[in-house]
Amino acid sequence: MSAPLPRLSAAQVAARLGVKAETVYAYVSRGLLRRERDARGSTFDALEVEAFAAGRRRAAVRTPSHPTTGMPLGVVRTDIADIEDDELLYRGRRARDLIDRPFADVVAWLWGAARVDAPAPAIGSARAMVEALPLSAGAMDRLRAAVAGFAADDPIRYEASTASVHRIGWTLLTGLPVALGGHADADLARSLVGRWGGPADVATVHAVNAALVLLMDHDLAVSTFAARVAASARADGYAAVSAALGAADSPLHISAATRTARLLLRVRRGQEPERALTDSLQEGTGIPGFGHPLYVGIDDRADALFPLLAALPDGERTMDAVHRLSTVVADRTGLRPNVDLALAGLVSAARLPEDAASTVFVLGRVAGWIAHIAAEYAEPPMRLRPRGEYVGD
């Protein structure tokens, strides 16, 4: 029998929800949260708190309307990605229907531009920037450094045009795996797998390729919006991607993939799911790998990726851990797996380092960022500069 899940104090719940302790007790009085009382005071079930937090996030995504026009506030029109009936679509096509095609071919289709047969990008500065980082640097640190290095080696990067940003996009997609220590390969998935020294078997390369395709774009994520804001000011492609990376390196966005990989690893090593979840909850915000406000059920990307994992070198043990973890979370919170858990399963089943999850996520999303940067260049400049409303004294 597994050990009971440690409970949270009222102060911990208040910090998790971003409210005052008095508000927590108001939730209790309204029957929204349950508490137990003993000599130490009130305590709360950690997973019940997470389910409540997820419900509050879903309610928050209902976009407010302008009081006069009725138009939603903060909307940027896009023809790149959409989510309909719990399915992710790229330009009207289901993303999962594209995962058997080479990632580079799907990128060329998404951009509406043939792949640039340019010379291999100069990687000297990019690799030097990466190698100068301390050993403790994480995947996101290395990616940001490499992008800065490619920019420094590109004196013609400043033209804010579709052709220029597509050229920059191909430079990053083909050059980043090499700058991170891998070998040049026309197959970007195989290049990434080779960079980590993993088994470059057909099943592993296919699964990584599928993940890259599934992660290209996803509505207007904060990193994508950051890229568009920079492009609105006519930042060059490298600078706009750097802006996106800054927003992506956050516990509620791409960095969650690495945290999810650590959670799954604990379960793989024999820790009870309840204990592993408690440890993970104490490390950051929310349950990593579960729940997404844009899906009623399971994240469509995770649903498409999970079936590919069983064929990987350590797929059986990984999927056993995924199922045990998912059962506990579903029973306690109703939350379903998202793409971060599928990515964590991918790196576990393929025996890749845990921070490979964030790298795959970023490399896939670079394709979407470039598509959005090109789209923003076609809009009036500076249109995404909001007007502040002063509320001070």
Domain boundaries, the chain: 1-75, 81-387
C-alpha 250/C-alpha 248 separation (Å) is 5
> In 180-285, which residue ranges form alpha helices assigned H by DSSP?
188-195, 202-214, 222-232, 237-248, 256-268, 273-283
Per-residue pLDDT at 71: 47
Q: Is pLDDT above 70 for 230?
A: yes
Q: What is the pLDDT of residues 157-194, one digit of tens each?
A: 999 999 999 999 999 999 999 999 888 888 899 998 88
DSSP SS3 for 37? strand
Give the confidence band of 47 by pLDDT, cuts at 50, 70, 90: confident
Looking at domain 1-75, its CATH architecture is Orthogonal Bundle (1.10)
The predicted pLDDT at position 57 comes to: 59
The β-bridge partners of 45 are 7
Q: What do you get for the CA distance between the two ends of the chain, in Å?
A: 58
Q: How far is CA 55 from CA 7, 49, 264, 334, in A?
A: 20, 10, 24, 10
Select 81-387's CATH number: 3.50.50.60, 1.10.580.10, 1.10.1660.10, 1.10.3720.10: 1.10.580.10
CB count in 10 Å sphere of residue 40: 9
Please give the pLDDT value at position 5.
66
Characterize the bridge pairing of strands 7-9 and 41-45: antiparallel
Model-wide pTM > 0.75 = yes
Distances (CA, A) of 144 to 190, 193, 241, 245, 269: 22, 20, 9, 7, 32
Tens digit of pLDDT for each residue in 252-281? 888 888 889 999 999 999 999 988 888 888
d(CA 34, CA 282): 20
Hey, what are 24's tokens? Answer: 């927590």
**pLDDT for 343-368, tens place per residue?**
999 999 999 988 899 999 999 999 99
Question: In this model, does residue 56 exceed pLDDT 80?
Answer: no
